[in-house]
Structure 1
């Protein structure tokens, strides 16, 4: 159980680091990104572990990765290259 929690925490931090490196221009500050990845992974691990029960480490890590990715995607701001056109009246 402890290794599962540590694994999901590391997974969340690695995902946050990767997203921060790739999309740094569309994200808020780095500490917020790291905290969101960590919290999302721990919450995803908790929910998956609660639903499946003990002895399911790999699905719990998969659930942690999914929730961490979803929570990190909520931090993305629109790209500056996006042009908005108004509809013709």
Structure 2
């Protein structure tokens, strides 16, 4: 179980690095991105491991990757300026 948690933390770190590398102009500071990726992966591993039970390392890592990517996507800012409508 410790290796599973360590593996999901590394997976979250890799996903956060990839997001920070590709989308650096749309994300906040790197420490926030890295901590969000790791925390999301650990939370996703915990939820998946709790739902499926012990002995399911690969599905737990998949759940960690999904939750980590979802939490990183919440940090994204819009690409361009927001347009105001004429009625607002």
Cα displacement string for residues 6-38 of structure 1 (whole angstroms, at most 9, x for unaligned residues) = 100000000000000000000000000000000
Aligned to 1:41: 41
Aligned to 2:68: 68
In 2, Cα distance between equivalents of 1:42 and 1:62: 11
Aligned to 1:9: 9
Residue 22 of structure 2 is aligned to residue 22 of structure 1: yes
Aligned to 1:86: 85
- Number of aligned residue pairs: give it: 88
Unaligned residue ranges in structure 2 (runs of 5+): none
Q: CA deviation at 1:85?
A: 5.6
TM-score (norm 2): 0.93
TM-score (norm 1): 0.92
Unaligned residue ranges in structure 1 (runs of 5+): none
In 1, Cα distance between equivalents of 2:84 and 2:31: 35
